[in-house]
Amino acid sequence: MAEVNVETSQGTPGVAAGGETVVMKFGGTSVAGPEDLKRAAARIVAERERGNKVVAVLSARGKTTDELLTMAGEISDRPSPREMDMLLSTGERISCALCAMAIWDLGHQAISLTGSQAGIVTDSSHTKARIVDVRAGRIEQALDRGDIVLVAGFQGVSTDSKDVTTLGRGGSDTTAVALAAALGASVCEIYTDVAGVFTADPRLVPAARKLVQISFEEMLEMSASGAGVLQLRSVEYARNHGVRIHCRSSFEEGTGTLVVAEEETMENPFVTAVTHSSDEARVTLAGVRNEPGMAGRIFTALADANVNVDVIIQNEPVSTSHGADLSFTVGRNDLATAVEAIEAVDVSAAEEILTDDKIGKVSIVGAGMRSHPGVAAKVFKVLGDEGINIEMISTSPIKISCVIAADRVPDAVRALHDSFDLGDDAIHYEDSTGEHKARAGSR
Ligand code: ADP
Ligand code: ASP
Ligand code: MG
């Protein structure tokens, strides 16, 4: 028996009390070494011993997925996407088989399943597949037998091609949420290496504060703008299927963060969090032919190449004899594909294609921003005072993003987190009269 002490978490918000189906997901750090894996197994068993049916979704151990990507890169500059998925999907299988062994040693029945065996059906878009169906019959049978079911995260099978697919980086979160929806689980527990969702990445901002709850809308914006703690698609899936996500630490007890509908949130700060990403790239098309349909053709080509485009800016030509300038950002890994896709549209679409692969982005997110003007002005001033040049700006009703040089991202995040007073000792709630209580929060 592993000597891992796991206290019960009964009474914690979002935790099933017994007789329910619970989905628990453990990320890479949470299953990295043998002791971590046994700790996860003990947590899973504790949940089973509370009388719940338990499905655990596991990620690949530690840096396994990165190592597999490096291996592929050592063999080929352009690995076949199908074979990439065959390779990448192995990491999660290792975790699940080992965890099942640990659970048997703890005196419980366990069965590990690949994504395909678990009924995770996807489209055929290799390395970025979307879940289109969950056929959970085999899992349900195993649960009815009393087994604990371990499901390899991040993968599925395409019914069209019958091939193994993967769901994009961080995709085990989406496996877990999709299973929670299909099984009618009372909660989807995401166990990770931080205590929950914070007001900024706690690795970059040690003073960041853990949020007790956050709305789906805000979490979607956070995930979309770089908070990798929950994969964007997992949050979308949870919102669309009404799944309760409970994000918490696998290393310590604690209440974690609940992702809930906006009506349920008790906090109503105008700025909730600062997010960032440092792995973006910008493409600028200078002198784009100024005729109807050009943007449509360019972005259709990017969509067909499965490239996610983020911030887009187009300037009117200075005169009729000039072309327009069009800039947009993409994930750095997609840069080569994006440029190829545009060149394939029409080589004369633009006079010049310029790229910058050292682009980062800093964003602030907050539902209260809708009703508080002046937040954008404050963001720009804070960055200006730090001597950080804003290269592109995009906004949504609850988010302001600035594209900046990648190497200035940490300074920008800390300056914004400080200026909006998001840290541990800050008061930033509206009181019942709607009056804002942030000390440095007025704009
Ligand atoms: P896992 O392997 O468990 O899926 P991830 O590395 O995908 O873990 O996500 C957890 C990491 O997300 C944390 O270690 C943290 O550095 C990062 N992170 C970024 N932004 C946030 C945030 N706002 N709150 C919490 N964690 C964040
Ligand atoms: N192992 C995959 C990754 O590193 C999926 C996951 O951990 O969610 O992206
Ligand atoms: Mg993750």
Same structural domain, 279 and 189 = no
Give nearest CA residue, ligand 2 atom 9.
Answer: 169
Same structural domain, 329 and 183 = no
Same structural domain, 34 and 156 = yes
Same structural domain, 317 and 180 = no
Q: How far is CA 327 from the centre of its chain?
A: 25
Distance from C-alpha of 181 to C-alpha of 184, rounded to nearest angstrom: 5
| Protein residues with CB under 6 Å of any ligand 2 atom | 27-28, 59-60, 65, 91, 153-154, 169-173
Same structural domain, 420 and 288 = yes
Q: Would residue 208 count as lying in a domain?
A: no
Residue 186: give its domain's CATH number: 3.40.1160.10
Q: In which residue are the tokens 């914006």 written? A: 221
Neighbours of ion ligand 3 (CB under 5 A): 27, 170
Structure tokens at 124: 């055929």
Same structural domain, 150 and 23 = yes
**Residue 11 — left, alpha, or beta (φ > 0 → left; ψ -120 to 50 → alpha)?**
left
Give me the tens of pLDDT residue by residue for the chain, a chain 443 residues long: 333 333 334 345 555 767 899 999 999 999 999 999 999 999 999 999 999 999 999 999 999 999 999 999 999 998 999 999 999 999 999 999 999 999 999 999 999 999 999 999 999 999 999 999 999 999 999 999 999 999 999 999 999 999 999 999 999 999 999 999 999 998 999 999 999 999 999 999 999 999 999 999 999 999 999 999 999 999 999 999 999 999 999 999 999 999 998 877 766 678 999 999 999 999 999 988 888 888 899 999 999 998 999 999 988 877 777 788 999 999 998 999 999 999 888 756 788 999 999 999 999 999 988 888 899 999 999 999 999 999 999 999 999 999 999 999 999 999 999 999 999 754 333 333 434 333 333 22
- pLDDT value at residue 328: 96
Give, to the nearest 10 degrees, the angle between helix 375-385 and helix 409-419.
130
Instruction: Quote the ligand 2 centre to 391 CA distance (angstroms).
Output: 31
Instruction: Quote the ligand 2 centre to 92 CA distance (angstroms).
Output: 8
pTM to 2 decimal places: 0.90
Give nearest CA residue, ligand 2 atom 4.
Answer: 65
Please state the domain count of the chain: 2
Same structural domain, 396 and 298 = yes
- pLDDT value at residue 413: 98
Q: Would residue 302 count as lying in a domain?
A: yes
State if residue 57 touches ligand 1 by the CB under 6 angstroms criterion.
Answer: no
Same structural domain, 171 and 299 = no
Helix residue ranges per DSSP H, 89-231: 90-105, 137-145, 172-183, 216-224
Q: Would residue 225 count as lying in a domain?
A: no
Q: Would residue 84 count as lying in a domain?
A: yes
- pLDDT value at residue 268: 67
- pLDDT value at residue 202: 96
State if residue 256 touches ligand 1 by the CB under 6 angstroms criterion.
Answer: no
Residue 342: give its domain's CATH number: 3.30.2130.10
Q: How far is CA 207 from CA 32, 250, 289, in A?
A: 26, 21, 49
State if residue 139 touches ligand 1 by the CB under 6 angstroms criterion.
Answer: no
Same structural domain, 284 and 430 = yes
Which range marks the domain in which residue 418 is found?
275-438
Q: How far is CA 176 from CA 54, 56, 187, 231, 352, in A?
A: 12, 8, 10, 11, 44
Q: Would residue 264 count as lying in a domain?
A: no
CB 172 within 8 A of CB 57: yes
Which residue, of 193, 208, 226, is where some domain finishes?
193
Q: How far is CA 256 from CA 12, 184, 191, 234, 245, in A?
A: 9, 22, 9, 17, 10
- pLDDT value at residue 350: 81
Q: Would residue 234 count as lying in a domain?
A: no
State if residue 219 touches ligand 1 by the CB under 6 angstroms criterion.
Answer: no
Same structural domain, 161 and 33 = yes
The number of helix segments (H) and strand segments (E) in the chain equals 12, 18
Which residue, of 134, 168, 193, is where some domain finishes?
193
Q: Would residue 229 count as lying in a domain?
A: no
Q: Would residue 299 count as lying in a domain?
A: yes
Give the closest ligand to the alpha carbon of residue 32. 1
Which residue, of 150, 167, 193, is where some domain finishes?
193
| Ligand 2 atom showing the smallest separation from residue 66 Cα | 4
Give the closest ligand to the alpha carbon of residue 193. 1
Same structural domain, 37 and 159 = yes
Same structural domain, 139 and 279 = no
